[in-house]
């Protein structure tokens, strides 16, 4: 059940009608019921696995809190290891099975005849990281353990962020479930506008770009020379519109219900270097990896060499987190190398020169570095990376440029330019009451067209992660 579907709009509207007028306790019950209903659309089995993960982590948190002996550390290690194992089995077991099969073939043997069939619960990476951060913060005593099982279930089953995040911190989200939320008129209008804008860029930007990419990238060995220079930025805008659109929908739905989620994107395509880019793209994941992996490994406290080794390890793990496949691992290493190279230039003072020309070139280079990396998501074996390099050896002819796509991405670019000019910390429309109503009528009309149109709807890109 996609956010830009008629079934979601109808079911959420009915839910919200009861939610808005309900008491504090009844609201929590309604959130739980709708969360179960929403997630169960992707399978009862996945829902049961989610509840198993929720119950396990709730119990581990209580166990850590109640134990002050030396075994407390081992309880924590057991809890985190179990979460990693849980994620590994359902997300990476089949990939590792294929790797071992490939190795056996290379050694002259036959491929494995039997291939196991495993359910891949949607959103498993996001809610597993949710739970790991909870255990870490309980162990470090940064938050008070959640003793109310009902509240902890809501922490994992809060439907706006359940599938694709953002990966909210327990210290921000759990207290919001435990306190009465006052829903103001401004929150409803702002939340509704964010939701509508998220659906709009998903339906009118991400989905058309996705269809163009799928029609033109069937296999890397049959592409016109140089076309990947065009395909790469198209994929970048597709992924951005798709994931940013979902994040806006999640923020908007949460605000309508009286909750505040963190901003997951802050105009990343205006970044002039890789470090700045990753502070603005998928912020909840990058800060999660910074706080719970990079800093735990020592961060930058043990010299420049150790710092960059830690960075490469974090980026290797980032690649694995994004998916089980050769391309994801290569992607993580590639972006890690890019970031380490930039930090080396910064270390020797090369980046101290600042002017508008260099900043503009940095924005272009950072954008294309990221865009070309996304091509690695689509490879099925390491050898296909050489086909990408071969295609990029030639510049594309001008007749290959899909000029209509420039009009498709224009609304997203203009919105980000507007936000950049205003220097906003969170996406906002800056509208007073007078122009707000006609704009909302226009946007809602567009959303209505989007959800009932006969055109095919695409899943959100990050569903595969």
C-alpha distances (whole Å) from 436 to each of 18, 31, 226, 431 are 26, 29, 45, 6
Contacts within 8 Å (CB) and 24+ apart, 419-425: 419/267, 420/267, 420/270, 425/263, 425/266
For residues 144 and 135, what is the distance between their CA atoms, to the nearest angstrom? 11
Structure tokens at 134: 């909870």
State residue 455 phi and psi, 5-degree precision: -70, 150
Of 323, 320, 319, 326, give the one whose Cα is nearest residue 103: 326
204 close to 408: Cβ distance less than 8 angstroms = yes
Q: Is 63 exposed, middle or buried (0-12, 13-18, 19+ CB in 10 A)?
A: middle
Positive or negative, the CA dihedral 315, 316, 320, 324 is positive
Nearest to 318 by CA among 276, 288, 275: 288
Q: What is the DSSP letter of 291?
A: I
Q: Compute the distance between CA of residue 384 and CA of residue 391 in angstroms, rounded to an integer.
A: 11
Q: Annotated catalytic residue: which of 65, 302, 322, 347? A: 322
CA-nearest of 118, 128, 209 to 163 is 128
How far is Cα 368 from Cα 107, in angstroms, rounded to an integer? Answer: 39
Q: Which two tokens stand for residue 347?
A: 């270390």
Determine the Cα–Cα distance for residues 179 and 194; give it in Å rounded to an integer. 24
Give 57's contacts (C-beta < 8 A, 6+ positions apart).
Answer: 79, 83, 131, 134, 135, 152, 156
Report yes or no: 333 and 312 within 8 Å, Cβ to Cβ: yes
Q: SS3 for 235?
A: helix
**268 is written with which tokens?**
């990343």
CA proximity to 285, closest of 249, 308, 309, 319? 319
Mark whether 282 is an active-site residue.
no
Catalytic residues: 322
């Amino acid at each position: 059940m996609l956010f830009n579907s008629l079934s979601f709009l109808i079911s959420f509207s009915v839910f919200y009608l009861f939610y808005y007028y309900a008491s504090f306790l009844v609201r929590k019950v309604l959130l739980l019921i709708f969360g179960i209903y929403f997630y169960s659309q992707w399978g009862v089995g996945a829902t049961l696995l989610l509840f198993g993960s929720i119950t396990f982590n709730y119990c581990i948190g209580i166990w850590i809190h109640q134990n002050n002996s030396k075994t407390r550390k081992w309880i924590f290690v057991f809890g985190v290891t179990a979460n990693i194992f849980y994620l590994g089995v359902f997300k990476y077991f089949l990939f590792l099975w294929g790797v071992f099969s490939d190795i056996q073939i290379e050694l002259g043997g036959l491929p494995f005849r039997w291939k196991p069939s495993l359910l891949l619960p949607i959103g498993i990476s996001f809610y597993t990281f949710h739970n790991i951060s909870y255990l870490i913060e309980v162990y470090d005593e940064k938050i008070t353990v959640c003793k109310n099982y009902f509240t902890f279930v809501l922490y994992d089953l809060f439907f706006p962020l359940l599938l694709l995040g953002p990966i909210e911190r327990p210290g921000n989200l759990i207290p919001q479930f435990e306190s009465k939320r006052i829903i103001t008129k401004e929150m409803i209008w702002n939340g509704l506008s964010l939701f509508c804008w998220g659906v709009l860029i998903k339906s009118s930007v991400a989905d058309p770009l996705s269809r163009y990419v799928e029609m033109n990238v069937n296999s890397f060995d049959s592409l016109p020379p140089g076309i990947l220079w065009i395909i790469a930025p198209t994929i970048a805008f597709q992924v951005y519109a798709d994931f940013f659109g979902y994040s806006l929908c999640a923020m908007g739905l949460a605000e309508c219900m009286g909750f505040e989620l963190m901003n997951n994107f802050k105009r990343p395509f205006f970044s002039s270097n890789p470090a700045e880019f990753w502070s603005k793209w998928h912020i909840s994941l990058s800060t999660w990896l910074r706080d719970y992996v990079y800093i735990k490994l020592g961060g930058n406290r043990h010299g420049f060499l150790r710092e960059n080794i830690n960075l490469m390890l974090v980026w290797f793990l980032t690649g694995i987190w994004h998916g089980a496949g050769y391309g994801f691992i290569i992607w993580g290493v590639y972006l890690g190398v890019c970031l380490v190279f930039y930090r080396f230039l910064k270390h020797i003072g090369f980046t101290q020169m600042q002017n508008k020309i260099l900043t503009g070139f940095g924005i272009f280079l950072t954008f294309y570095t990221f865009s070309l990396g996304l091509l690695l998501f689509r490879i099925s074996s390491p050898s296909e990376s050489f086909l990408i390099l071969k295609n990029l050896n030639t510049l594309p002819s001008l007749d290959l440029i899909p000029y209509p796509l420039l009009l498709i991405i224009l609304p997203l670019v203009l919105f980000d330019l507007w936000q950049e000019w205003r220097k906003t910390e969170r996406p906002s429309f800056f509208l007073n009451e007078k122009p707000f109503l006609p704009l909302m009528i226009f946007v809602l009309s567009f959303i209505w067209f989007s959800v009932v149109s006969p055109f095919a709807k695409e899943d959100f890109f990050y569903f595969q992660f």
